[in-house]
Chain A
Amino acid sequence: MLRHSVATAALIGTALFTGAAFAQSGKVTVVTSFSKDVTDPFKQAFEKAHPGVTLDVQNRNTNAGVKFLEETKANNQVDIFWASAPDAFEVLKSKSLLQKHKPKAEGIPDKIGSYPINDPENLYSGFAASGYGIMWNDRYAKANKLPEPKDWQDLAKPVYFDHVAMAAPSRSGTTHLTIETILQGEGWEQGWRTLKEVSGNFRQITERSFGVPEAVNSGQVGFGIVIDFFAFSAQASGFPVKFVYPTVTTIVPANVAVVANAPNKAGAEAFVDYLVSPAGQEVLLEPSIRRLPVNPAVYAKAPADYPNPFKDPSLGARVKFDVNVSEKRTNVVDVLYDQTVTFQLDALKAATKAIHDAEAAIAKKDNADAKALVKEARDLVAVMPVTEQQASSSEITGAFTGGKEKGARQAELEQQWAAFAKERYQQAQAKAEQALKLAR
């Protein structure tokens, strides 16, 4: 026990000493949410490029990582925070836990797709990007005779009922961006309608991002809304899965930041610089990682069918994305989704099923009254308890961030929204069932 702690102390001591004496040496401590398949190749490449430097990788999920930095800030021992979710970096930034560093790299544009690559104040930098899409298990699809989807709207079709999965936007920063893109692209009302129509077909809403590809890989769920690299790395490991980018997809960056008061600041900056350097960017092309480089020049070295967001306009460029709008209502959108969809999934699915059945009956035997009822049912499912203006208003956003002004409490809003949605789903189900009777 004693030997152990002495060794640790000695190690940290050496790291501190050498870190101060020579730039770019000693130990660089990284807290990351990335898996071993991603971190190992970077560790090897970086240590090779910087002899004498060791990269000490601590794996934590994004949330644990954020909490860890928060709790240990008084005596920080971490140099780098390295993760996907931009919202985690926003939280760290707002708590002044990050340090400014503008990476020394040539040829990196301001935007990838329609999303800015770097934080405007240079507190964190994007080093890779990924696109969202649909991944499915081929064996599952064939066994259940399901067609291959091409677009988001396809997933709302009755044939996919109970076959789709997604991570909750409140649990996955990247899923959140996808939801927000749909809301901005289609507008608040139409966006939520699409989201609920797709969500009505969900088999499950997982609480961690990797839960979706895991369920698809093992064949428990047929179709998943996932980031591309989950599908590509599963394919590389031999799983019978396929992937498609929808015609309109979001490109989301993965980020890296130097932690405030980093014990080895020079080493940390060297690591960030390495990630965005051409050599570091090329590591991204490895089959086990397969993320999109932010340096357009690197795509020249990529395999022929590698998606290139700088050339292919369907990858992100067609989407309009306003970061300010998104930031203002982040929590509201997450909680709205959780309260009206995640925690009401049974009621939503029952309504969706009833609507599908009624529409199938109407398709066989037309009936104007039944049609009107189904339309009413669909509207009831789609309606939201708050308007777009309310969603960004300070009375509502303050309930989540803990603003000093006394508005409604978060718990009160949640209860209101949940009750609102549940009541309407039940009404929708009743109307759809009525329509089914008429059309029979």
Chain B
Amino acid sequence: MAGATTAGRAHAPSVSSRFMRLSATPGQIALALGITVFLVLFLIVPVGTVIYVAFTEKGTGEFTLVNFLDFARTDLFIRSFWNSVYVSAMSVVVASIFALPLAYITTRFEFRGAMLIQTLGFLPLIMPPFVGAVAMLLLFGRNGTVNLLLDEWFGVKIPFMEGLNGVIFVQAVHYFPFILINLSTALRNIDRSMEEAAQNLGSSGFRLFHRIVFPLAMPGYIAGASLVFVKVFDDLATPLLLNVKDMLAPQAYLRVTSIGIADPMGYVISVVLICMSILAMWISARAMRGKDYATVQRGGGGLAKRTMRPWESALAYATVLLILLLVLAPHIGLLLLSFATIWSFSPLPDAFTLAHYGRVFGESFVYIKNTLLYASIAGLIDVVLGIAIAYLVLRTKLIGREWLDWAATAALAIPGVVLGIGYLRTFYGVQLPDGTPLATLWITIVLALAIRRLPYALRACYAALQQISVSLEEAAENLGATKMRTVRRVVLPLMAGGILAGFVTSFATAAVELSATLMLVQSNADAPLAYGLYVFMQSAAGRGPGAALGVIAVLLVALCTFASHMIIEKSQKAKGASR
């Protein structure tokens, strides 16, 4: 922490005067109002129409808080609550173990294939629903490849996927890219002179990392880690896949989707999830308060990249390969599955075929088109909102500005099915002039995706802005630039890396979203890839084609990710050259 506070002290004199000068302008107030209206319309109202049930008595519909008392008195819910806390915290730890070496090695050293590794390290986030789970079980399950081989060779089996520890393992593999991508961006943004100063003073090696480099990259790490915590806390798909039901999110889901029982407890749990998510974000913001992570000098391509000695290089490659092999195993499994004829209780498929790709080739085109369209619009909306909210929270003194952040973050805690029902309830009654309900238009799906993935882009933009020193903006304004021009010419270019990271995360995860989509898709012509996947994965014969569709989805998103990494790299180089 010493590095961060030292960096902070350098700016200390400007702190008090800065806040006086950066109070809200009418433009900022209008922006805040606009965002508020958007969030109220597409998040708070639809969700409110569904979860108000948590505060009513069953049967009479009168207002009551007794349901929350019931929550506290039910052993199952209390057990679920602590299980969720434990799993989320441990997932952050394990995810950090995966992410730290990858991020550090690829940004800190001259390393061949760094960009490829960044892209590959991002893939686990794109786990197509259902088929990703099947692939994971076929590899790591009780009778998956690894355990069948271990059993044959040594007579032992490792319970990778059993109970809470199984959930931690799968969640860490799945969500560690949140840390990787945000931490890498932060590392790239660190002022090279800080490191040089430390080196001149005699610091090097691990000490340099944990006293100077890591503390300066803290905003990125916190952004990623808090996302992992909240996302794991609110995720229902993985625990259900592993048949772990005593966690909060699965309990909420099981109750919200039970047929014919009017049970308020599902919504009570949703409220608890939302409160916990906001609390986690508040704690992470609190942990960073009073510290200044901004550095003035920018655009040197981040940390000075060093060359490694041969043995260091070998060690680094071995570490990177090992981690990549582990976290990409599900995707390797998916690839095998998409070419497999039959894969059942055996280390590898019985035989291979191209038939599954043939089957999905014709119909997947419309799915691909829709997915690209929906996910990129949703990603754009998220980035725009993310920048705006981050700017309002960090650069203005508007009262209640943190609530914009928290409201957007709460979207993480809302089960997709609740959002889907809320959208139908709110927008199906609204009719277009020709009588078509508003909710049948595909733009509704896009809005739902945007709301669900907004927290990802927001965290990335937030971290990026935290690393920019206000003095740069002050300088621009002193030279006569307007606020608008300052944001456009100074803030946005400096945030570019974070913005792209945010876009990629939102885009990629929106491309494989299913739960809200399943509620809102109105016809095959409007359906995205995830829906096509769902349709296939309901029958034994559909497993291969489903996997093929999953591979297509992953490739598609990977290509887009790779392209945006190229752009980041290029712009960094260009900035470095112009310096």
Contact = CB atoms under 8 A, between A and B. Distances in A.
Interface of A: 1, 4-5, 8-9, 12-13, 33-38, 56-64, 66-68, 71-72, 74-75, 77, 85, 87-88, 90-91, 137, 139-140, 143, 170-171, 173, 204-207, 210, 213-215, 217-220, 230, 233-234, 236-241, 288, 330-331, 334-335, 342-343, 398-405, 409-412, 414-415, 418-419, 422
B524 A57 contact: yes
Contacts of B428: 71-72, 74-75
A347 to B, nearest CB: 12
Contacts of A171: 254, 258
Given A36-B536, A87-B259, A219-B344, A411 B542 contact: no
Contact of B540 (A213, A334, A412): A213
B70 to A, nearest CB: 4
Contact of B424 (A56, A72, A220, A238): A72
Interface stretch (B110-118, B436-444, B463-471): B436-444
Nearest to B73: A415
Nearest to A61: B518
B265 interface: yes
Given A35-B535, A218-B137, A62 B259 contact: yes
A90 B260 contact: yes
Given A74-B429, A411-B71, A220 B141 contact: yes
Nearest to A213: B540
A12 B436 contact: yes
A157 to B, nearest CB: 20
A10 to B, nearest CB: 9
B482 interface: no
B307 interface: no
B346 to A, nearest CB: 7
B424 A75 contact: no
A40 B317 CA distance: 49
A75 B522 CA distance: 13
Across the A-B interface, give the 3 residue pairs with the lowest CB-CB distance, nearest first: A219-B345, A411-B70, A35-B538
Contacts of A77: 437, 440, 522
Contacts of B518: 60-61, 64
Given A9-B432, A207-B245, A331-B261, A58 B521 contact: yes
Q: Which of A91, A400, A410 has the most CB of B within 10 A?
A: A410
A56 B259 contact: no
B128 to A, nearest CB: 15
A66 B403 CA distance: 35
Contacts of A87: 259-260
Nearest to A60: B518
Given A8-B441, A37-B542, A218 B70 contact: no
A223 to B, nearest CB: 13
B538 A36 contact: yes
Interface stretch (B17-25, B58-66, B201-209, B406-414): B58-66
B443 A217 contact: no
B134 A214 contact: yes
Nearest to A13: B434
B257 A63 contact: yes
A34 B343 CA distance: 24
Nearest to B431: A75
Nearest to A140: B345
Contact of B141 (A218, A335, A398): A218
Q: For the complex, would chain A's binding face be called helix, strand, loop or mixed by DSSP majority? A: helix
B345 A143 contact: yes
Interface in B417-447: 417, 420-421, 424-425, 428-429, 431-432, 434-437, 439-443
B261 A239 contact: no
Interface of B: 58-60, 66-67, 70-71, 73-76, 134, 137-138, 141-144, 240, 243, 245-246, 250, 254, 257-263, 265, 341-346, 417, 420-421, 424-425, 428-429, 431-432, 434-437, 439-443, 518-519, 521-526, 531, 534-543
Contacts of B240: 207
Nearest to B246: A343
B538 A59 contact: yes
Nearest to A10: B434
A30 to B, nearest CB: 11
A164 to B, nearest CB: 13
A329 B59 CA distance: 18
Contacts of B76: 343, 414-415, 418
A402 B58 contact: yes
A331 B260 contact: yes
Nearest to A33: B538
A91 to B, nearest CB: 4
A32 to B, nearest CB: 10
B265 A410 contact: yes
A422 B74 CA distance: 13
Contacts of B59: 398, 402-405
A332 B487 CA distance: 60
Contacts of A139: 344-346
B276 to A, nearest CB: 19
Contacts of B260: 87, 90-91, 330-331, 401
A13 B440 CA distance: 14
B526 to A, nearest CB: 8
A152 B329 CA distance: 38
A64 B253 CA distance: 12
Contacts of A422: 75
A414 B74 contact: yes
Nearest to A204: B243
A218 B437 contact: no
A9 B522 CA distance: 12
B540 A230 contact: yes
A37 B432 CA distance: 35
Q: Which of A238, A404, A422 has the most CB of B within 10 A?
A: A238
Given A36-B539, A75-B431, A140-B143, A63 B259 contact: yes
Contacts of A4: 442
B442 A233 contact: no
A415 B261 CA distance: 17
Contacts of A234: 540
A64 B524 contact: no
A343 B342 contact: no
Given A64-B518, A404-B60, A237 B540 contact: yes
Q: Which of A57, A62, A213, A331 has the most CB of B within 10 A?
A: A331
